[in-house]
Amino acid sequence: MRYKCAVVFLITSLFIAGCVQGGADPGAGDKEYLVRNVVDGDTIELANGRKVRYIGIDTPETMKREGGTWIFEPEAFATAAKDYNRSLVFGKKVTLEFDMTKKDKYGRWLAYVHIDDKMANAELLKEGYATVYTFPPNVKYVDLFLEAQKEARRNKKGFWAALEAISPDAAGDHVGEYCIIKGPVTGIRVSPHMILLNFGPDRGKYLTAVIFSRNIPLFTEKGIDPSSHYGGKYVEVVGKIEYKNGPRMIIDNPSQIKVTHDGM
């Protein structure tokens, strides 16, 4: 009887543990996964068919969407980022560490990818092939990542060596590139979803810096209210220029923007 009870208890415990881990999803731990393909600088494919998106970083894109299809049109340093990622993990066994959210909207696992005594996410930042991409609630290593990025920029590694400083009205000519932009914040618009920092009268021509609501706590914890702090001041922003109703730059965290001096 005791033996049967023990077996029932063991099976029940394993079932409950499986439910806590989210069914077929892995949990953090020592389980190893073989990397069979490197998709780009921040995404890999495992031997079990799962794709894994690195948490906390963003690398230049290798593919561009045109209409309903994707074409190979790599941004600057996209190939270098992919090659470096490949040198870190391809054909090797890695362990995955998860944060609060384990999957993105595309069904990819979100993880910190460990290989030997290194974390691939951090290594890409250190070598200047990635920038910090903060997407709460997955911010466990944000301070470590910011320090790695700071070191890469200071040492002019990767794309930091080629970083170009441009004016706010030239942003539209540099879509898909990482740039430094300096200029006055001429206006601020606040909505429930984001804060828009305008760098000129024409949004179709001048840069707009975008701070999403989910990232505002990263500013307020440093005593910065982004809805008012930058208004009427000259600032420097660093990041990749996108295009949506005009050139824009997503500001994920305070390290991307600083006041150079007050007053316009």
Tens of pLDDT, residues 150-192? 999 999 999 899 888 999 999 999 998 899 999 999 999 999 9
Architecture of the domain defined by 163-261: Beta Barrel (2.40)
pLDDT above 80 for 11: no
Please give the mean pLDDT across all residues of the chain.
Answer: 87
Q: Domain residue spans in the chain?
A: 23-158, 163-261
2.80.10.50, 1.10.1760.20, 2.40.50.90, 2.20.25.10: CATH of 23-158: 2.40.50.90
Whole-angstrom distance, CA of residue 209 vs CA of residue 254: 12
Structure tokens that stand for 87 in this block: 């040198």
**261 pLDDT band (50/70/90 cuts)?**
confident
Q: Which residues are catalytic?
A: 53, 61, 108
DSSP secondary structure letter of residue 262: S
Q: What is the pLDDT of residue 142?
A: 94
pLDDT above 80 for 146: yes
Q: What is the pLDDT of residue 19?
A: 38
pLDDT above 60 for 54: yes
Q: What is the pLDDT of residue 77?
A: 86
DSSP conformation letters of 142-185: HHHHHHHHHHHHHTT-GGGGG-EEE-GGGGGGGTTSEEEEEEE-
pLDDT above 60 for 1: no
**225 pLDDT band (50/70/90 cuts)?**
very high
Structure tokens that stand for 223 in this block: 């005593």
Lowest mean pLDDT among 40-44, 156-160, 209-213: 156-160
Q: What is the pLDDT of residue 75?
A: 81
Mean pLDDT of 68-86: 83
3-state secondary structure of 205: coil
Q: Where on the phi/psi map is residue 68: left (φ > 0), alpha (ψ -120 to 50), or beta?
A: alpha
Task: Convert the pLDDT of each residue in 86-101 to its tens digit.
Answer: 999 999 999 999 999 9
Asked if 23-158 and 163-261 have one fold, the answer is yes
